[in-house]
Chains A and B, each alone.
Chain A
């Protein structure tokens, strides 16, 4: 649990991207009630703001936080991550404000997909920060995969919870969106689980001085609890969605279970840090 600030920042930022993209897809494919969607899009920035605050608490000199822009000159991955965060946050806020104030509906159709793509760019930029050649336990595409999957499993559940709480205003679209989100999250959960097992196998056979899986006394228990929370959370929502349920609290519980599962997975990721210098 060495990097809790970063655990919260990365998971919440990625979850915000997942939520934004999920809502974006619902908006583009189902065209639901405008006010419901505007309120839902606002929730993205609550997640993102909590994540941003967590990232600032990671700095020992928070008052100097704008210094991180100097690194853009030499393409420091951390600086580029902040740029990507600003671009996604900026585009997302602009889109949501345009919805809120009814500005240029035609242009909104362009800003939405641009912001969704910038969300993916943000996740790739966060992954780039940790794919360091000098840290063999992080230096692989598994890092990118895990970060993308956080967005892919948390996003649809967060969107489902938000829409269920506003189901009265959504009408027939609610059941459709609920089932579509449930199908999506079932698929992404399957990919995430298979990938997680692959990642653990990859970690176990790394040619490094210390076996990464033997580094943490709680590693096996954490992996198990993480998987139980992920599967349990997703199934609880999916079963209810397939039966036509619309309980917001149930979806919110699923969202929290999966979010906690991602926090646990990310804490494991940070604790598995191993330098190329045999733990120097």
Chain B
């Protein structure tokens, strides 16, 4: 089984949210349901120097996150019906919406906010890695629409060989919790998981 996953380059991402919107458009997602979300993580303060002058150390960067199709998905483990499951062929985590009871337990368990309740269908929904597009040799719609080419999708082993395996970037949780199929390309402002100097600046959007 080739585990598929995403690479997100935060040094390229400008927070334009084209990935978020193209995903929403392709999957006809209702208001409030965003399978891909772009977190704006920012912080900083005024710093006083020895000569009494001040300068600031403000920083900000964007992290585009969908489902990370984790090797140990907390959502699938929690799901009482098996509707949330990991596909054998590509390791993508998808929901069988004919089985889901809409208990939202997967939503509680996932630390990435990936499973989201669809109020129209009354079942859980989430990024499925656009597996139908991928089967036809295309890329997921978020990857293809990114104007900065900040996203990549493919076998996670190949992506790790190219970009390393860093995924412990704020505001993401400790990757040890679920072993996400995600690699974050860092930028000069990158803060690591557990950082308390910054916060998510667009909580209403995500």
Pair from one complex: yes
A residues adjacent to B (C-beta < 8 A): 58-62, 64-65, 67-68, 70-71, 73-74, 76-79, 82, 129, 132-135, 207, 209, 273, 275-280
Of all chain B residues, the one with the shortest Cβ separation from A207 is B194
Residue contact A279 to B200, C-beta cutoff 8 Å: yes
Residue contact A67 to B99, C-beta cutoff 8 Å: yes
Residues from chain A with Cβ under 8 Å of B104 in the complex: 60
Pick the residue among A59, A76, A133, A279 that contacts B79 (CB under 8 A). Answer: A76
Report how far A36 CA is from B170 CA in the complex, Å: 61
Pick the residue among B78, B111, B171 that contacts A77 (CB under 8 A). Answer: B78
Q: CB within 8 Å of A: which of B64-115? A: 65, 74, 76-83, 99-105, 108-113
Pick the residue among A67, A276, A280 that contacts B81 (CB under 8 A). Answer: A67
Report how far A134 CA is from B110 CA in the complex, Å: 7
The stretch from B19-27, B45-53, B138-146, B172-180 touching chain A is B172-180
Expressed in whole angstroms, the minimum distance between the Cβ of A33 and any Cβ of chain B is: 42
Of all chain B residues, the one with the shortest Cβ separation from A80 is B80
Q: Do most interface residues of chain B lie in helix, strand or loop, or is the interface mixed? A: loop
Residues from chain A with Cβ under 8 Å of B170 in the complex: 278
- Besides A60-B104, A60-B122, A64-B99, 4 other CB < 8 A contacts? A60-B102, A78-B105, A134-B109, A279-B203
* Given contacts A78-B78, A278-B170, A59 and B109 within 8 Å (CB-CB): no
* Given contacts A209-B199, A278-B171, A280-B113, A76 and B101 within 8 Å (CB-CB): no
Report how far A78 CA is from B65 CA in the complex, Å: 27
* Given contacts A71-B82, A78-B105, A276 and B100 within 8 Å (CB-CB): no
* Given contacts A60-B122, A77-B78, A134 and B99 within 8 Å (CB-CB): no
Residues from chain B with Cβ under 8 Å of A62 in the complex: 101
- Which residue, B80, B110, B173, has most C-beta atoms of chain A within 10 A? B80
Whether a CB of chain A sits under 8 angstroms from the CB of B123 is: yes
Whether a CB of chain A sits under 8 angstroms from the CB of B117 is: yes
Expressed in whole angstroms, the minimum distance between the Cβ of A7 and any Cβ of chain B is: 14
Residue contact A74 to B82, C-beta cutoff 8 Å: yes
Whether a CB of chain A sits under 8 angstroms from the CB of B7 is: no
Expressed in whole angstroms, the minimum distance between the Cβ of B29 and any Cβ of chain A is: 17
Pick the residue among A79, A207, A276 that contacts B177 (CB under 8 A). Answer: A276
Of all chain B residues, the one with the shortest Cβ separation from A270 is B108
Residue contact A209 to B171, C-beta cutoff 8 Å: yes
Expressed in whole angstroms, the minimum distance between the Cβ of A75 and any Cβ of chain B is: 8
Whether a CB of chain A sits under 8 angstroms from the CB of B206 is: yes
Report how far A71 CA is from B96 CA in the complex, Å: 14
Residue contact B74 to A134, C-beta cutoff 8 Å: yes
Q: CB within 8 Å of A: which of B163-206? A: 170-174, 177-178, 194, 196, 199-200, 203, 206
* Given contacts A59-B101, A70-B99, A278-B200, A76 and B171 within 8 Å (CB-CB): no
Expressed in whole angstroms, the minimum distance between the Cβ of B105 and any Cβ of chain A is: 5
Whether a CB of chain A sits under 8 angstroms from the CB of B39 is: yes
Expressed in whole angstroms, the minimum distance between the Cβ of B103 and any Cβ of chain A is: 5
